[in-house]
Structure 1
């Protein structure tokens, strides 16, 4: 039995806080069943360092992973799994390649208007659009990943989500495999993604604004002056960047190179991720700053999103972007119900970390526009 040799903690090692009476294995997992001397959160906090010495992360459960086995009411199951990435991350790699193809298709078909069905290789001409989208999404997630490594939190590499529509992707995520140790780590991990993603977004936007619109865009704009069209409205940050780079005239014309849309996507992703609810980046940041009171703030988020959707539909008298905010209202409801990411140690933050969190939220506010997508009729 692996838990009795030197490759993993023995029941005797756990005895001060966890009276283990059954040890078993399930694949690469170790299962310790026993009676705790403290609640689950304290038990995890006391034992996490011990198991890390042996290369394991832990989870405390009140049910057994084997559904056929029952756990007595006075007992817990401690599940220990190897930490880190084992083997080549095939799933991440495949999803990344599919997202590259998806963004190439979206750029070529919707923006460059290339004959991708008769000449699939023509989609390669849309590589600047693909690089812009993948760049802002990937840098955002890599910001999170770097901070998880810095704080020694076991997490996956980014998972990209392909979707061959206007953007070419539904974003990217990393999966936390264990609890975050402190509020400081929670703040660092939560803020690092938006800050890194915004840095990439600014670079992509500046580069895109220096490029001239495509000939097919010019022709389509002329032809659509008397037709209904989709308009992507500019958040304040995009306007500020255009003013600072002397390209505000391009933005006012409403006709810019598709790479600029990559920056627009980065700003929308930042706004949505910084909603202060559940385990979104904004939820991490606010939970780190205000502690358990974050749940009160999170409870108000779905109502605010539904109110915005209602205002656009019934007061403004249209359905522009109503679906976006209504859908995210439903999503936020589920996230608020699931609750925030609670660190193992809940000490308050220092002033510097609070300032970083507030700055991140302020920058996120500059990416907000109440009507990101609008249907314009002549």
Structure 2
């Protein structure tokens, strides 16, 4: 047995006051420090993390064969090589949104070059979603947190995608980093959604073919508009609907609608959603007491709409999100290494972000009639 680490790894002497190491091993690219902690888990990680990061390692506390061990893995905040999975999903989502967008532009033959008429819709949707995830990615790199490029999720229905995600690995160094990474996505995505909404509102409406309007199998999908989108339309003096059923708003506007709806959903303050990160940064451990109230509110909203307001299947979205947020709540939040409070500027930005998220709320986002 050895108590000496390999070259390029921190010496146990640098953190002996909080962790008494009696053995060091190398295994599968990891450096394992077996020892006895002299303090609780949070204070221990807070004390040893700077030393390991200085040497280029991420560190976590674990149990191996009944012993306490610090597991150190090489830290890498970049992406090596071509991210083929990300590229493939991006292309698939590009095709998926283009295909679905053809129905928004009433393209009769989606296998014809006419499908390119839907390109503005595709660019609007993917631009808003991509900007949201890029905000997270840029802030992750800024704070030297290991994060992947965005993974787009193709879905050939309604909008052609279910959004995108990035994958973060390793420890979050402090509340500032947790806040910046969490808030950057919604703010960047919302700015993009506003820009897309403005562009879409000034573009001419699309014409609904008579055969679509008069088809006996046609169904009407009604979209509510969030207060923020209504305000943009009012400032521009542009309508969000037309009395003539043969006219419909430009589908680019729906790119902004999607961005605003995604912003609201991501800012739900639970677990590892963006809102959960922001709330955890603002109030610390108190976030664990607030989060369980969220699923209760969502179930209550869904039940009210289902049994009192009688909005039919539209209530299902909040019941579904009640289930999802319950799962996310039990999964817990991220605990940064340094849990010192945020400064006043970040607190103000956090409160403003939640207010902007509330302006994207729609009690009944979508209803299918017919």
Q: Normalized against structure 2, the TM-score is what?
A: 0.90
- Give the aligned partner of residue 235 of structure 2: 244
Q: Are residues 7 and 123 of structure 1, via their aligned partners in 2, closer, same or farther at CA, if it must alter by over 3 Å? A: farther
SS at match of 2:58: strand
- Give the aligned partner of residue 32 of structure 2: 31
- Give the aligned partner of residue 233 of structure 1: 224
Q: CA deviation at 1:204?
A: 0.5
Paired residues of 1:320 and 1:373 also in contact (CA < 8 A): no
More off after superposition, 267-276 vs 341-350: 341-350
CA distance in structure 1 between the aligned counterparts of 2:55 and 2:240, rounded to whole angstroms: 60
- Give the aligned partner of residue 348 of structure 1: 341
CA distance in structure 2 between the aligned counterparts of 1:246 and 1:225, rounded to whole angstroms: 35
Paired residues of 1:14 and 1:20 also in contact (CA < 8 A): no
Query: After superposition, what is the alpha-carbon deviation per residue over 1:223-276, rounded to whole angstroms, capped at 9, x for unaligned?
Result: 379954111111111110101111136577782111111111001101100001
Paired residues of 1:110 and 1:166 also in contact (CA < 8 A): no
Paired residues of 2:305 and 2:311 also in contact (CA < 8 A): yes
CA distance in structure 1 between the aligned counterparts of 2:54 and 2:211, rounded to whole angstroms: 62
Q: CA deviation at 1:20?
A: 4.5
- Give the aligned partner of residue 67 of structure 1: none
Q: Are residues 300 and 237 of structure 1, via their aligned partners in 2, closer, same or farther at CA, if it must alter by over 3 Å? A: same
Root-mean-square deviation (CA, aligned residues, Å) is 2.4
- Give the aligned partner of residue 134 of structure 1: 126
Task: Name the count of aligned residue pairs.
Answer: 364
SS at match of 1:321: helix
- Give the aligned partner of residue 197 of structure 2: 205
Q: Are residues 372 and 224 of structure 1, via their aligned partners in 2, closer, same or farther at CA, if it must alter by over 3 Å? A: farther
CA distance in structure 2 between the aligned counterparts of 1:20 and 1:155, rounded to whole angstroms: 33
Where does 1:185-224 land on structure 2 (aligned, <5 Å)? 185-215=177-207, 217=208, 219=210, 222-223=213-214
Q: Are residues 251 and 105 of structure 1, via their aligned partners in 2, closer, same or farther at CA, if it must alter by over 3 Å? A: same
- Give the aligned partner of residue 96 of structure 2: 102
Q: CA deviation at 1:110?
A: 4.9
Unaligned runs of 5+ in 1: 65-69
Query: After superposition, what is the alpha-carbon deviation per residue over 1:133-190, rounded to whole angstroms, capped at 9, x for unaligned?
Result: 1111111111111111222222222111111111111111112212222222222221
SS at match of 2:7: coil
Unaligned runs of 5+ in 2: none
